[in-house]
């Protein structure tokens, strides 16, 4: 991908405000004996105040690496090779570049400004400390308040996530999976951070509990006014939850747009594939296909589009053309960008031909128009 | 339900399974129960009087949350756990796992696929070893067969689960495979025994959303090709809608609702099924339920289970004294549907009304 990219293309949403977090030209590699694995490749992303940005991709697409990298939480063999992450919080006088911070400053920034809810609440909580002790730990480490105040704060945090105060004395193993995840969320918001990064916070949970937690997150967000970077492999969740969605594949963004544009006018074939990957419970039974094949080896990226081997629309031109993100001219969302210059929202689905033998669960629906490839000059 | 009143109510009224029209009855669970002894004399009723049938070439989905007992049902059917009461029939004969030999004979008919392909394959053995062993164990007694299974047979298995070229995969170790590829190896290993029944315990939940469908598609093909009677255990009722003929909804060890997949998901009758359906992400209705805070579980999971009466009563918006006192049995609401609720007339009046006037329809792909 070319390095020259239109900054504005990604930042136009609520352009009146400065973003809280502005990730620019960000790259991370994993140094291995077999060569560098390019886990995140020149990514740009803005997060505005009060916004929920969803980061969706398969395992190994680099979504967690991007988020952890932006907080400098990665250890060797991970190496940040380029980019800046500018943070502008309300409590900050001037914007800071997280990449330039000294260790002490980083410590102040983490949790106080940017908190993370990790994927596995089972492992992220300390099994031999009570919930209360762990909450107090966080509060004392980051807030200058008295013991009494801290204890009251810990209790009110449990109120916030609808857990009875008596649970302060409980140990993690005494809580259900959903409650543990709520405790994790309570810990994350304990210091009133401006940004909460959520890494698959509901993946291991049952649907009913998942729903509860998501509703809880939305409620907390409205109340405490933080921004969320929500990482998941489940696009259907993001369609409901996120304001904007970035679709990540092989360390790159393939499409960024508002949730409603992603759902109704997806431009990239991979996004279209993801949208056909989950069965819907309501409405008529749709054709489902999934995305055959597996993600590319990031040690030796091939030329052109990384999605090429799995793409039902692929042509010979795909290896030659510039696949940097470019605006989707027909989109209502001025921030809608796609890396595929060929397939546009109005391109009808290629059903029968592209998907036979790929394990489609239903007979394909008839396409209602002829395919037309319109080119968008990047 | 306490032990005292067990056996009082028939758990499966004369409801025909929507899976029955696909093929012959392969396996039947008749009022099976499993109790686990806990410390301090407590007893956990993990599975309570569950009855259903698995039919050749058909998929029955068992849907429920963690701890509802669905995996225990799979282990009971697989003969890996002793029944507390009830009976399991395989091809019309009672399950026999009394001796080592009988157990092995049973296992060559009934195979289990686990959720986690990362821990169900042995990390120190190759793909080839994983497949050679079941071939040798389960087919050695077959006609015209002796010694080690040939490479062709193993390759054919890999072909069936679309791991090609087989030569490339045979010498690989699990860590060299992706999650999807590992699960394919698990499928191949299960097929090596040439089973008639496949019990798949959350076979795709550990995989990425984008690969799940492909794997379900593969399972569906295998079901067709080998006329497998498939039990699909999942917490994802949406996938069951697409994949299964009949859905059984399990809560706290009991089946609370059963019926043809499409009908049950579109018109759920039991309040718990309704909650499950309402909790699934609904992309066609952006954010509405999340933001409104509506559809929240009235009493969250911490409410626990009821000691007596309907196990769902602590979370149920319709629960009254009757519900808290007495556990409802499955009640037939149509020729192919049943639900266990005292208040079906309030919970699902249209389902009750429909069952009287309209002839039964439903099932997959009709």
Q: Do A233 and B209 touch (CB under 8 A)?
A: yes
Give me the residue spans of the domains in chain A.
Answer: 49-70+102-113+197-378, 120-192
Provide the pairing of β-strand A195-199 with A227-232: parallel
In angstroms, the CA A170 to CA A137 distance is 15
Q: What is the pLDDT along chain A (378 residues), one digit of tens a residue?
A: 433 334 444 444 444 578 999 999 999 999 988 888 889 999 999 999 999 999 999 888 889 999 999 999 888 889 999 999 999 988 888 889 999 999 888 888 888 899 999 877 667 888 899 999 999 999 998 888 999 999 999 999 998 888 889 899 999 888 888 888 889 999 999 988 999 999 988 877 788 888 888 888 998 999 999 999 999 988 988 998 999 999 999 999 999 999 999 998 899 999 998 988 888 887 777 777 778 777 777 777 777 788 888 888 888 888 887 788 888 888 888 889 999 888 776 666 554 334 333 434 443 333 333 333 333 333
Q: Is the Cα dihedral A231, A233, A236, A239 positive or negative?
A: positive
B178 contact A CB<8A:
yes
Strand pairing partners for A53?
A229, A244
| Contacts (Cβ under 8 Å, ≥6 apart) of A187 | A115, A134, A135, A138, A157
Contacts of B286 in chain A (CB under 8 A): 239-240, 259-260, 263
Contacting residues of B for A179, CB less than 8 Å apart: 301-302
Q: Of all helices (H) and strands (E), which one includes residue A21?
A: strand A21-32
Query: What's the predicted TM-score (pTM) here?
Result: 0.81
More confident call, B9 vs B24: B24
> Are B65 and A206 within 8 A, CB to CB?
yes
CA torsion sign, A36 to A41 to A42 to A44? negative
Q: What angle do CA A51, A53, A57 make, to 5 degrees?
A: 175
Complex ipTM more than 0.85, yes or no: no
Q: What is the pLDDT of residue A349?
A: 57
Query: Is residue A127 classed exposed, middle or buried when 0-12, 13-18 and 19+ CB atoms within 10 A define those classes?
Result: exposed
Which B-chain residues 199-218 have CB contacts (< 8 A) with chain A?
208-218
Structure tokens at B333: 């609401």
Residue A77: is the preceding peptide bond cis (ω within 30°)?
A: yes
Extract the tokens encoding B295.
Answer: 């559809």
Residues 47-66 of B with CB under 8 A from A: 65-66
Q: Which fold has domain A49-70+102-113+197-378?
A: Rossmann fold (3.40.50)
What gap in Å lies between CA A306 and CA A323, rounded to an integer? 9
- Which residues partner with A133 through β-bridges? none
């Amino acid at each position: 991908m070319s390095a020259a990219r239109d900054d504005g293309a990604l930042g136009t949403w609520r352009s009146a405000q400065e973003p809280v977090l502005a990730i620019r030209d960000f790259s991370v590699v994993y140094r291995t004996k077999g060569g560098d694995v390019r886990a995140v490749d020149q990514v740009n992303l803005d997060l505005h105040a009060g916004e929920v940005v969803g980061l969706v991709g398969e395992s190994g697409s680099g979504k967690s690496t991007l988020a952890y990298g932006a907080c400098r939480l990665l250890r060797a063999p991970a190496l940040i090779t380029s980019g800046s992450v500018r943070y502008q919080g309300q409590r900050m006088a001037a914007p800071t570049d997280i990449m330039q911070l000294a260790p002490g400053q980083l410590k102040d920034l983490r949790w106080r400004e940017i908190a993370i809810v990790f994927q596995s609440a089972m492992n992220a909580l300390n099994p031999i400390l009570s919930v209360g002790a762990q909450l107090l730990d966080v509060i004392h480490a980051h807030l200058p308040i008295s013991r009494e105040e801290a204890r009251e704060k810990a209790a009110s945090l449990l109120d916030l996530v609808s857990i009875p105060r008596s649970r302060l004395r409980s140990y993690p193993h005494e809580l259900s999976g959903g409650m543990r995840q709520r405790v994790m969320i309570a810990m994350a918001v304990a210091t009133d951070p401006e940004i909460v990064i959520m890494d698959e916070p509901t993946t291991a949970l049952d649907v009913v509990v998942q729903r509860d937690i998501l509703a809880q997150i939305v409620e907390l967000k409205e109340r405490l006014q933080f921004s969320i970077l929500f990482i998941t492999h489940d696009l259907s969740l993001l369609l409901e939850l996120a304001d904007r969605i970035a679709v990540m594949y092989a360390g790159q963004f393939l499409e960024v747009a508002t949730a409603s544009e992603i759902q109704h006018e997806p431009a990239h074939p991979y996004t279209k594939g993801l949208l056909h990957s989950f069965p819907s419970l309501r409405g008529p039974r749709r054709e489902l296909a999934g995305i055959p094949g597996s993600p590319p080896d990031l040690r030796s990226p091939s030329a052109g589009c990384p999605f090429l081997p799995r793409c039902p629309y692929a042509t010979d031109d795909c290896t030659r053309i510039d696949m940097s993100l470019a605006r989707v001219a027909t989109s209502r969302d001025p921030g809608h960008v796609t890396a595929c210059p060929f397939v546009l929202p109005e391109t009808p689905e290629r059903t029968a031909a592209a998907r036979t033998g790929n394990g489609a669960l239903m007979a394909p629906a008839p396409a209602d128009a002829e395919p037309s490839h319109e080119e968008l000059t990047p | 339900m306490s032990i005292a009143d067990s056996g009082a109510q028939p758990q499966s009224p004369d409801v025909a399974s929507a899976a029955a029209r696909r093929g012959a009855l392969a396996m039947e669970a008749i009022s099976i129960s499993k109790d686990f002894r806990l410390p301090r004399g407590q007893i956990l009723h993990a599975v309570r009087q569950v009855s259903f049938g698995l039919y050749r070439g058909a998929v029955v989905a068992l849907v429920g949350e963690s701890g509802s007992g669905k995996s225990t049902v799979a282990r009971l059917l697989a003969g890996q756990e002793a029944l507390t009461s009830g009976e399991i029939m395989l091809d019309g004969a009672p399950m026999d796992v009394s001796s080592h030999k009988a157990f092995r004979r049973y296992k060559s008919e009934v195979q289990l696929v686990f959720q986690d392909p990362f821990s169900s394959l042995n990390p120190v053995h190759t793909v080839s070893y994983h497949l050679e062993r079941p071939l040798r164990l389960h087919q050695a007694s077959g006609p015209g067969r002796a010694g080690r299974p040939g490479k062709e047979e193993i390759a054919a298995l890999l072909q069936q689960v679309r791991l090609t070229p087989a030569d490339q995969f045979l010498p690989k170790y699990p860590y060299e495979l992706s999650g999807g590829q590992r699960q394919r190896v698990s499928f191949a290993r299960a097929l090596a025994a040439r089973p008639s029944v496949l019990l798949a315990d959350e076979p795709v939940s550990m995989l990425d959303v984008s690969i799940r469908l492909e794997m379900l598609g593969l399972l569906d093909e295998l079901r067709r090709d080998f006329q497998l009677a498939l039990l699909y255990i999942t917490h994802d009722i949406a996938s069951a809608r697409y994949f299964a003929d009949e859905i059984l909804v399990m809560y706290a060890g009991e089946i609370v609702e059963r019926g043809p997949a499409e009908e049950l998901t579109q018109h759920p009758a039991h309040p718990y099924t309704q909650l499950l359906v309402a909790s699934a992400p609904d992309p066609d209705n952006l954010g509405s339920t999340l933001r409104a805070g509506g559809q929240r579980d009235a009493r969250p999971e911490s409410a626990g289970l009821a000691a007596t009466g309907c196990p769902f009563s602590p979370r149920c918006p319709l629960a009254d004294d009757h519900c808290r006192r007495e556990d409802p049995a499955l009640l037939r609401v149509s020729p192919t549907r049943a639900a266990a609720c005292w208040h079906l007339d309030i919970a699902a009046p249209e389902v009750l009304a429909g069952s009287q006037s309209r002839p039964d329809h439903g099932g997959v792909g009709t």
